[in-house]
Amino acid sequence: MQANTHRDDSRSPRYYRIYQALLSSIQSGGLKPGDSLPSETSIAQTHDVAPGTARKAVDMLVDRGWVERQHGRGTFVRRADFSHSLARFFRLTDREGVQLHPKSELLGIRELPAPADIARHLEEPEHASLIEIERVRRVDELPLLHEVIYLSRDRFLPLLSLPAEEWGDLLYPLYEQLCGEVVFRATDTLSAGPAPAGPAHHLGLSPGSQVIEITRLAKGYDERPLEWRLSRGRLDWFHYSFDIR
């Protein structure tokens, strides 16, 4: 037989269409974090292509960080990992370069009607009912960040009845376990501005001091906004480096 049965109407490459098909079943939630993808040979069979072509589609998912290969075991949908996001902007390592983990202190949680700008970010109707969480993150008792977090009340209702003692250092596992909402990606935006009295106080600054502001919009698999937060940090703790090319 001849080598080429790829009788394609001028569409995109076959590996690319397979990549898209797999990706959309991850994004739609059909394949959840930790789930295993079909094996490469079975992907090849279902899409009627050679194994190498199926493999190339999986390669793309790996390159883009959607899945992770484990030799001999399979290929698995990755969980989002934020351990190197925010933290990287601050001096969170000790003198030997070891990563330090900040502790979270819950300052308060309440319901409120959505302010206009936050409603817009969360794609909620104006005055929709939101949950506001305020907390401080510390390393060695030194206040590193002051955070205000907004969530849809309807989707995160269980948080309102969680006793203060049971709030851990990380919120996203709580979202997942209590509310079934999984954060998949986020956009952080950095800028600077004056700190209002409350946050300034918690950071040990006088009101109006310049602070770094980090806003985050976190989204689920389906690209639906889940969380909006504003974190403020002391300028003298701020530090970040990265490589170019």
Residue 87 touches which of DNA, its own copies, none (Cβ within 5-8 Å per kind): none
Buried b (16+ CB within 10 A) or exposed e, 35-54: eebbebeebbeebebeeebb
What backbone torsions phi and psi does residue 182 show, to the nearest 5 degrees? -110, 125
The site partner of 82 among DNA, its own copies, none (C-beta below 5 to 8 Å per kind) is its own copies
Q: What is the four-CA torsion angle of 224, 227, 233, 239, rounded to 10 degrees? A: -30
Q: Which residues bind DNA (CB under 7 A)?
A: 1-6, 8, 10, 13-16, 37, 39-42, 48-53, 55-56, 69-75
The option from its own copies, DNA, none interacting with 71 (CB < 5 to 8 A, set by class) reads DNA
CB 119 within 8 A of CB 126: yes
| Strand, coil or helix: 129 | strand
Q: Which is nearer to DNA, 70 or 241 (CB)?
A: 70
Which residues are CB-contacts of 241 (< 8 A; sequence separation ≥ 6)?
Answer: none
Closer to its own copies by Cβ: residue 156 or 184: 184
CB of 33 to DNA, least distance (A): 16
In the complex, which residues of this chain contact its own copies (CB under 8 A)?
Answer: 63, 65, 78, 80-82, 85, 89, 184-193, 210, 212, 235-236, 238-245
**Residue 7 contact, options DNA, its own copies, none, Cβ 5-8 Å cut-off depending on partner type:** none
- Give the whole-angstrom CA distance, residue 191 versus residue 157: 31
